Amino acid sequence: MEWCVSMPKVELHAHLNGSIRVSTLLELAKAEKGDIDFSEVEHVIVKYERSLIEVFKMFDLIHNLTTDHNTVTRITKEVVEDFASENVVYLELRTTPKRNDSIGMSKRSYVEAVLKGLRSVSSVDVAFIPHNEDSKSLFSSLPTITNDKCNGVARKRIYVRLLLSIDRRETTEAALETVKLALEMRHLGVVGIDLSGNPKVGEWTTYLPALEFAKEQGLHVTLHCGEVPNPEEVHNMLDFHPQRIGHACFFEDEHQRRLKSSKIPVEICLTSNVRTLSVPSIDVHHFVDLYNAKHPLVLCTDDSGVFSTCLSKEYKIAADSFGLGRREMFELSRNGVEHIFADSGVKEDLRNFFNSVAKNME
Ligand code: 5GP
């Protein structure tokens, strides 16, 4: 496990509110003066196993406790610190901009609170404003690199980019509002759009106009795809050809073939898939088939707080369950760089960084 922690990693599928520290969630629940009775929710928060339905109930509880500007800022800061502490060097954090008129929150002010959280991180170096040719690279600006294991430098550095999520409960208009906001906030590190939320809710045709608009405008798009059996939707999503998809659990043979020939990278969330019973057990996880086919893959956490995991743990699970050695894990992590949504300057900096630490990771 220690080696997995020391390895530099790329996280491309992390939901902000799902990545909340359990200690923070318990603290917020305890302090809540409103509708929530702590004694009733404590066991829900600390529960280990959760079905997909329970997971979405858990998100309603989390949102009740976190959706105010200060808390959004706080959890953003903590989540970035947590990923950086385990040597995640590039984090694409996704979150659903929320509107709550009763507290004066608009989708824009929600995202501004997230940005404030990024700015408030002081224990690690965070780069979230997009590169321009004159700006220094995060890693190549020093002769040797972050990772303590490699060179004894304790201060961590992390690139962060944001994806704005469309929740499947939203209308076409609300989805379009999110895409417009993402376009307006590109200069602040928003690189794309995600479609997420309860997969049993909503229709593909509702989000399609917003997703097409995002694509036309040059935003990257990733879709939660095949989390429940819904072959028609999987078919439509593959037709849309997003830049990445998340999960890809319930794929019929024909869709699996199409996925492989399309080379659309898949964000793999092992613990999440097992806990929510989207796969029957880890040993039959589709990671193996896709990995053997050399399909582009990235290991991710999904919701590290909700599923009590972290990215290092996900690599350890892959090593233990599928027999990956250090070299394979490092290559898997390094290949993740090719699928990030940030600009080519960041990609190049990360490629150089991975190259520079490769020898030390054997
Ligand atoms: P937030 O967007 O509020 O920062 O993060 C929590 C939200 O992400 C949830 O309410 C849900 O919309 C989405 N989410 C988190 N985990 C999953 C998942 O495993 N599947 C899907 N479809 N959506 C998820």
- Evaluate whether 131 touches 346 at the Cβ level (below 8 Å): yes
pLDDT (0 to 100) of residue 48: 74
- Evaluate whether 6 touches 148 at the Cβ level (below 8 Å): yes
Total Cβ atoms within 10 A of residue 76: 26
Q: Which ligand 1 atom is nearest residue 199's CA?
A: 22
Distance 12 CA to ligand 1 centre (A): 14
Q: Residue written as tokens 């390094």?
A: 334
Of all protein residues, whose CA lies closest to atom 12 belonging to ligand 1? 197
Statement: residue 92 has pLDDT above 80: yes
Statement: residue 146 has pLDDT above 60: no
224 vs 246: CA distance, rounded Å:
5
pLDDT (average), residues 116-137: 82
pLDDT (0 to 100) of residue 42: 76
For the record, the structure tokens of 270 come out as: 């092992």
Q: Which of the two residues, 362 and 128, has the higher pLDDT score?
A: 128
Q: Which of the two residues, 109 and 41, has the higher pLDDT score?
A: 109
pLDDT (0 to 100) of residue 243: 98
Grade residue 33 by pLDDT with cuts at 50, 70 and 90: low
204 vs 227: CA distance, rounded Å:
14
Distance 96 CA to ligand 1 centre (A): 8
The question of ipTM being above 0.95 is answered as: yes
Of all protein residues, whose CA lies closest to atom 8 belonging to ligand 1? 15
Distance 264 CA to ligand 1 centre (A): 21
Enumerate the active-site residues.
Answer: 227
pLDDT (average), residues 27-49: 76
Of all protein residues, whose CA lies closest to atom 24 belonging to ligand 1? 197
Grade residue 149 by pLDDT with cuts at 50, 70 and 90: very low
Total Cβ atoms within 10 A of residue 153: 13
Total Cβ atoms within 10 A of residue 134: 5
pLDDT (average), residues 268-290: 95
The predicted-structure confidence for 53-76, as pLDDT tens digits, reads as follows 888 888 998 998 888 999 999 999
Q: Residue written as tokens 């990693």?
A: 9
Statement: residue 287 has pLDDT above 90: yes
- Evaluate whether 311 touches 300 at the Cβ level (below 8 Å): yes
Residue-averaged pLDDT of the chain: 92
For the record, the structure tokens of 125 come out as: 């170096």
pLDDT (0 to 100) of residue 150: 44
Distance 84 CA to ligand 1 centre (A): 21
Least confident of 125-129, 140-144, 352-356: 140-144
**Dihedral angle of Cα 185, 190, 195, 197, to the nearest 10 degrees:** -90
Of all protein residues, whose CA lies closest to atom 23 belonging to ligand 1? 197
Statement: residue 142 has pLDDT above 70: no
pLDDT (0 to 100) of residue 34: 63
Mutation test residue for ligand 1: of 96, 196, 234, 270, the one with most atoms within 8 Å of CB: 196
What backbone phi and psi angles, to 5 degrees, belong to 205?
Answer: -65, -25
pLDDT (0 to 100) of residue 43: 74
Distance 197 CA to ligand 1 centre (A): 5
Best CA proximity match to 214, nearest among 232, 234, 198, 194: 194
Statement: residue 5 has pLDDT above 90: yes
- Provide the H-helix boundaries in 137-269: 148-151, 172-184, 204-216, 231-240, 253-262
pLDDT (0 to 100) of residue 144: 42
Q: Which ligand 1 atom is nearest residue 52's CA?
A: 19
**DSSP 8-state class, residue 30:** H
Sign, CA dihedral 272-273-274-278, equals positive
The predicted-structure confidence for 184-205, as pLDDT tens digits, reads as follows 999 999 999 999 999 999 999 9
For the record, the structure tokens of 100 come out as: 């709550």
Q: Which of the two residues, 46 and 324, has the higher pLDDT score?
A: 324
Q: Which of the two residues, 258 and 129, has the higher pLDDT score?
A: 258
DSSP 56-118: HHHHHHHHHHH-SHHHHHHHHHHHHHHHHHTTEEEEEEEE----BGGGTB-HHHHHHHHHHHH
For the record, the structure tokens of 357 come out as: 């630490």
pLDDT (0 to 100) of residue 67: 86
Distance 221 CA to ligand 1 centre (A): 16
> What is the count of structural domains for the chain?
1
Best CA proximity match to 327, nearest among 349, 295, 289, 354: 354
- Evaluate whether 199 touches 168 at the Cβ level (below 8 Å): yes
Alpha carbon 320 to its chain's center: 23
CB-based pocket (< 6 A), ligand 1: 15-18, 59, 95-96, 165, 167, 196-197, 199, 224, 227, 272, 302-303
pLDDT (0 to 100) of residue 154: 65
Grade residue 132 by pLDDT with cuts at 50, 70 and 90: low
Best CA proximity match to 88, nearest among 343, 317, 344, 310: 310
Mutation test residue for ligand 1: of 165, 190, 227, the one with most atoms within 8 Å of CB: 165
Mutation test residue for ligand 1: of 96, 249, 269, the one with most atoms within 8 Å of CB: 96
Q: Which ligand 1 atom is nearest residue 276's CA?
A: 19
Residue-range definition of the domain harbouring residue 95: 2-361
Q: Which ligand 1 atom is nearest residue 16's CA?
A: 4
- Evaluate whether 297 touches 286 at the Cβ level (below 8 Å): no
Distance 327 CA to ligand 1 centre (A): 32
pLDDT (0 to 100) of residue 143: 42
Q: Which ligand 1 atom is nearest residue 63's CA?
A: 3
67 vs 63: CA distance, rounded Å:
5
CATH code of residue 26: 3.20.20.140
223 vs 216: CA distance, rounded Å:
16
The predicted-structure confidence for 301-357, as pLDDT tens digits, reads as follows 999 999 999 999 999 999 999 999 999 999 999 999 999 999 999 999 999 999 999
Q: Which ligand 1 atom is nearest residue 98's CA?
A: 3
For the record, the structure tokens of 345 come out as: 């300057």
Burial pattern 4-34, b for ≥16 Cβ within 10 A else e, equals: bbbbbbbbbbbbbbbbbbeebbbebbeeeee
